[in-house]
């Protein structure tokens, strides 16, 4: 699956942001002629492959992986994380969700709370929202910036440009330290969001997923899209690409996420650590001792 999908991933991967336009991006999987069953099968295969790769990542304990998920409400972040990681050993994977910052968070620099949650080597760390909110919700609602206790002389128009620079520098630093970064923007259409909101209202078991705040943020759709576009333009890099995932079709979105992570891990040429001849000899000696035991 990885091989065949890899060829099709390229339209969604953004490594150079300068020319990026959200209007050019698909929200549904137009052009993809896969049936539901074919997508399910491909995802199953992908999930199993991911499990194998993660085992090696963990055993080798050199590289680490950071996956960042950003999206409008109801775009399917939670479902994508749940399905794609379902074949991965929970010991090798950590998911952190970043909601509105606490008083303690606001007493620090904007990357503080996420920095504390970075993955160890050998692990896959997942950020469900991230420091990118600092260039999205905070940009759409300037009153949030006021609450950040920044010295007023530092809050100028260029603050967003500075945040992008700082984020790029931070991600480059992480990548130079052996942490592979992939950033997913689940690109859902306004129409599909409406449909999913209505489902959350109509189906009582989905009511808990919906809040009036979500509807309010929908009212700022265009400002959000502008903020997302600018964010991708300024922070899509070779070392930390954005993957703009068509998210109106949940199955397809999950496939793109799975294929991206598989592709990133396959590029690392992961191997189980090799055992030296001395270690092999020592293992053999232990085997002999074990076999001599009576019980």
Question: Which residues are at the interface with ligand ATP (CB under 6 A)?
Answer: 73, 78, 97-101, 129, 133-134, 137-138, 144, 209
Three-state DSSP at 243 gives strand
Phi, psi of 245, rounded to the nearest 5 degrees: -95, 125
Residue 98 touches which of Mg ion, ligand ATP, none (CB < 5 to 8 A by kind)? ligand ATP
- C-beta of 150: minimal distance to Mg ion in Å? 26
Decide whether 62 or 162 has the Cβ nearer to ligand ATP: 162
Least separation in angstroms between residue 101's CB and ligand ATP is: 5
**Residue 144 touches which of ligand ATP, Mg ion, none (Cβ within 5-8 Å per kind):** ligand ATP
Which of Mg ion, ligand ATP, none binds 92 (CB below 5-8 Å, type-dependent)? none
Smallest distance, Mg ion to C-beta of residue 210, A: 8
What's the CA gap between 234 and 231, in Å, rounded?
Answer: 5
Residue 134 burial by CB count (10 A; 0-12/13-18/19+): exposed, middle or buried?
buried
Residue 138's binding partner, choosing from ligand ATP, Mg ion, none, with beta-carbon cut-off 5 to 8 A by kind?
ligand ATP
Return left, alpha or beta for 28; rule: phi > 0 is left, psi -120 to 50 is alpha, else beta.
beta
- Contact of residue 99 among ligand ATP, Mg ion, none (CB under 5-8 Å per partner type): ligand ATP
Q: Which is nearer to ligand ATP, 36 or 99 (CB)?
A: 99
Q: Pattern 71-100, binding to Mg ion, x per CB under 5 A?
A: --x---------------------------
Integer-rounded Cα Rg, in Å, for the chain is 22
Considering beta carbons, is residue 133 or 229 the nearer one to ligand ATP? Answer: 133
DSSP code string of 89-118: -GGGEEEEE--SPPHHHHTS-TTHHHHTTP
Nearest to 4 by CA among 236, 182, 258: 258
Cβ(53)–Cβ(262) under 8 Å? yes
């Amino acid at each position: 699956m990885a091989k065949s999908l890899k060829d099709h991933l390229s339209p969604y991967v953004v490594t150079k942001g300068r020319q990026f336009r959200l209007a050019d991006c698909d929200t549904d999987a137009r052009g993809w002629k896969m049936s539901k069953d074919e997508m399910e099968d491909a995802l199953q295969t992908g999930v199993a492959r991911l499990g194998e790769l993660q085992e090696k990542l963990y055993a080798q304990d050199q590289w680490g992986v950071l996956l960042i998920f950003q999206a409008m409400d109801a775009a399917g972040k939670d479902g994508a994380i749940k399905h794609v990681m379902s074949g991965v050993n929970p010991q090798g994977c950590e998911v952190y969700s970043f909601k509105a910052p606490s008083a303690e968070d606001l007493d620090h620099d904007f990357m503080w709370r996420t920095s504390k949650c970075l993955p160890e080597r050998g692990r896959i760390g997942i950020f469900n929202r991230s420091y990118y909110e600092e260039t999205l919700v905070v940009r759409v609602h300037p009153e949030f910036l006021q609450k950040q206790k920044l010295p007023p002389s530092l809050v100028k128009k260029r603050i967003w440009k500075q945040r992008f620079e700082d984020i790029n520098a931070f991600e480059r630093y992480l990548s130079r330290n052996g942490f592979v970064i992939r950033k997913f923007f689940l690109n859902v259409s306004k129409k599909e969001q409406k449909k999913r909101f209505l489902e959350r209202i109509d189906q009582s078991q989905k009511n808990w997923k919906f809040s009036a705040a979500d509807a309010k943020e929908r009212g700022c759709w265009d400002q959000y899209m502008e903020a997302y576009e600018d964010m991708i333009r300024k922070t899509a890099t070779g070392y930390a690409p954005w993957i703009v995932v068509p998210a109106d079709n949940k199955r397809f979105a999950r496939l793109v996420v799975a294929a991206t992570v598989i592709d990133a891990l396959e590029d690392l040429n992961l191997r189980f650590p090799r055992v030296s001849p001395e270690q092999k000899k020592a293992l053999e000696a232990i085997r002999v001792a074990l076999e001599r035991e009576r019980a």
